[in-house]
Amino acid sequence: MSTTERAGAPGRPPLPAVLRSVLAVEVRLFLREPLTLVLGVAMPSVVLFGMAAIPALREPSPDFGGMRFIDFWAPTALVLGLCLVGVSHLPAVIGTYRENGVLRRLSTTPVHPGVLLVAQLIIVLATMALSSLVLVVASWLVLDIGLPQRPLLFAVALVTGSASLVASGMLVAAVVPSARAANGVATLLYLVVMLVGGLFLPRFLLPEVLVRMGEFTPPGVQLLMDAWWGRVDSTNPHAVQLAVMAGITVLAAAAAARLFRWE
C-alpha cells in the first residue's frame, strides 16, 4: 500500500450499544463499592428516624406553625441524601478516574470518554431518585409525615433541584486533578449546601440571609419545603425559584463542559 492511501476505517458501533456496555460495567463497579448507595439512600431516613426517637421532636409546636420538628426537618434530610450523591460522590469518582488515567486511556479508543460521564450521570440521578423516594415513603409510613401536598410541583422542584446539584458537582469534577482534591472542594460545597439546607441549624433558626439563600442555592430547599407542605400562595415566587435552579444547571453544566480536563 502507499502511504497516501487512507486507512480502511471500519464504521463504529452505535452509540447506544457503547453506552449500554459502559453503563453495565459502571453500575457493577458502583454496586461493588456500595458505600455511596447505602449512605445516599439509607442515611437520610435513618437520621430522620433518629430525630423522631426524641419525643419532643414529635410534638407539634407553635414554633413550626403547629407542625412537628420532624415534619419541618424532613426536607433537610431529603437534601442530605441528594447532596451526598451529587456533590460528594460524583466528583470523587471522576477525580479518581482522572488521576488514575482511566479517562486518558478511554480517550485512546474510538469512543469519546464523555460516554463514561454520561453513564456516571445516569447512575447518580437514579440513586438520587431512589434516595428521595425512600425518604418520602418511609417518612409517610413510619413517621406519619404527610406526602407532598403539591406532588407535581414537588416532582418538578426535585428534578430541577437535583439537576442543579449534579451540575455543580460536575463542575467540581471537571477541574479537580485528583480524588483528594475532589473531596476537599466537594466537602466545601457540601457544607454550604447543607448549611443553607438546615442540617446544622433548623432553617427556622437560620438568619434571614441564609433562609433567603435557600430559595436560590441548589437544590432550592425552600421550594421543596413549600411544595411538600402545600404552602403555595401567589406571593411565593415559585416560578422564579424553578427558573433559578434551571439557570444554575445550565450555566454549571456549560462551564463543566468547557473546563473539563481529561487528564
Note the residues at the interface with other proteins (CB under 8 A).
Answer: 1-13, 17-18, 21-22, 25, 28-29, 32-33, 96-97, 100-102, 104-105, 107-111
Residue corresponding to grid cell 460495567: 25
CA dihedral 224, 166, 203, 136 (to 10 degrees): 50
Question: Distance (Å, rounded) from C-alpha 113 to C-alpha 118?
Answer: 9
Least Cβ distance, residue 205 to other proteins (angstroms): 43
Long-range contacts of 192-196 (CB under 8 A, 24+ apart): 192/217, 193/79, 193/83, 193/87, 193/165, 193/217, 193/218, 193/219, 194/79, 194/80, 194/83, 196/221
Closer residue to other proteins (CB): 111 or 181: 111
Least Cβ distance, residue 103 to other proteins (angstroms): 9
Closer residue to other proteins (CB): 26 or 71: 26
Least Cβ distance, residue 253 to other proteins (angstroms): 24
Least Cβ distance, residue 28 to other proteins (angstroms): 7
The whole-angstrom distance between residue 104's C-alpha and the CA centroid of its chain comes to 26
Closer residue to other proteins (CB): 11 or 66: 11
Closer residue to other proteins (CB): 100 or 187: 100
Closer residue to other proteins (CB): 78 or 119: 119
Least Cβ distance, residue 106 to other proteins (angstroms): 9
Grid coordinates representing 181 are 482534591
Least Cβ distance, residue 162 to other proteins (angstroms): 25
Closer residue to other proteins (CB): 31 or 46: 31
Q: How many alpha carbons fall within 13 Å on the CB side of residue 43?
A: 17
Question: Distance (Å, rounded) from C-alpha 96 to C-alpha 109?
Answer: 19
